[in-house]
Amino acid sequence: MTQPAATALEGIRVLDMTHVQSGPSATQILAWLGADVVKLEAPTGDVTRKQLRDVPDADSLYFTMLNGNKRSITLNTKTERGKELLTELIRRSDVLVENFGPGAVDRMGFTWERVREINPRIVYASIKGFGEGPYTDYKAYEVVAQAMGGSMATTGFEDGPPMATGAQIGDSGTGIHLVAAVLAALLQRTRTGRGQRVNVAMQHSVLNLCRVKLRDQQRLAHGRLAEYPNEDFGDEVPRSGNASGGGQPGWAVRCAPGGPNDYVYVIVQPVGWRPITALIGRPELADDPEWATPEARLPKLGKMFQLIEEWTGTLPKWQVLEKLNAHNIPCGPILSTKEIIEDPSLRANEIVVEVEHPQRGTYLTVGSPLKLSDSSVPIRRSPLLGEHNEEVYVAELGLAAEDLPLLKSSGVI
């Protein structure tokens, strides 16, 4: 396969002033799309370089898996010389992304008005925890966003506490929303010649991902939600375990030998009911008026999935998968993190990618899920702290090479 001559975002310079997860997840996607992402870090580095370390004195997997395909420079923006260099970096960038606490960049002296004055074409993008209002100054973290965006209240079983999801919908979910906004702003700039301010709040992004629960909150005004397995309904959407909550009922059914991830998630479509009854050894239920139609089955979802589980519980999940797929019944095995890392198809699709790192040796990372026929960007390792100082400050900004040791000794870089 021949490599395309260009990438989708070739020529776009992103000044990445983000840290931890929500911001870095967004700028990494921009890098995967071909943008030149320059990660600007304090001389001490992004805090996640040292968090959850598994290899002594090496960047953590937390950092490496969120900062691939980027360049790293260091800069102390609290110094006067640092502010001058930041001004020059802003002047040369197409996009500035930050996820500091509310007002932090303003206090550095770089309000939107000032940034726009330096570079009228720049897209200045921010991730914050919340929008304008009573929560504006609250600190937000992944699970805080899940809690306040509707996810936790609707996740878990009805007799248990609210639960966080393992998917990082507050952090990385917000990062994906920010990418969409940045790309739209860049496209609009081709018509107007102007940059613009872009803001995305974590709470708002989680709520967008939970929109079906807001749908169901309004439907509750007309009575119980038949597709939910819950018996009792109050005036708010309940936690409903593994119910799909959609038009086609689904559930995770246990398989042999009964380990923590020996489950298959099964969707029961109307057309799939007859082959399911044959597979579970209850073919008479296909024509039984008490079971034959979706309307008849809705009040008995718990019993329906119990009947299916009596069959699946005797077979390994991969065998269940094979038998259900033979009849085009929508289903999927619950894959553990170990199974995902070892899945050959995910390796073949470059979604699980092996990368070489000078400190860590080999590590696995998640590759880009965005596949563009004319824009192929190889997955590269994360940069070492300040690895590209000379490349950016000397070769691109025009500083003298002998200036770098002085800037370093004086705490500027």
Instruction: Describe the strand order of the beta sheet including 70-74 as a list of residue ranges.
Output: 70-74, 36-41, 13-17, 95-98, 123-128, 197-201
Q: How far is CA 265 from CA 42, 335, 338, in A?
A: 46, 11, 18
Residue 288 among the catalytic residues: no
Angle between helices 172-192 and 22-32 (to 10 degrees): 50
Q: What is the 3-state secondary structure (H, E, C) of the chain?
A: CCCCCCCCCCCCEEEEECCCCHHHHHHHHHHHCCCEEEEEECCCCCHHHCCCCCCCCCCCHHHHCCCCCEEEEECCCCCHHHHHHHHHHHHCCCEEEECCCCCHHHHCCCCHHHHHHHCCCCEEEEEECCCCCCCCCCCCCHHHHHHHCCCHHHCCCCCCCCCCCCCCCCCHHHHHHHHHHHHHHHHHHHHHCCCCEEEEEHHHHHHHHCHHHHHHHHHHHHCCCCCCCCCCCCCCCCCCCCCCCCCCCEEEEECECCCCCCEEEEECCHHHHHHHHHHCCCHHHHCCCCCCCHHHHHHHHHHHHHHHHHHHCCCEHHHHHHHHHCCCCCEEECCCHHHHHHCHHHHHCCCEEEEEECCCEEEEEECCCCCECCECCCCCCCCCCCCCHHHHHHHHCCCCCCHHHHHHHCCCC
Q: Between β-strands 331-333 and 263-267, what pairing exists: parallel, antiparallel or unpaired? A: antiparallel
Choosing from 36, 171, 216, 262, the catalytic residue is 171
Cα–Cα–Cα angle for 302, 305, 306, nearest 5°? 80
Backbone angles phi, psi at 339, to 5 degrees: -65, -35
CA 304 to chain centre: 34
- Do residues 181 and 144 make contact, with C-beta atoms less than 8 angstroms apart? no
Catalytic residues: 171
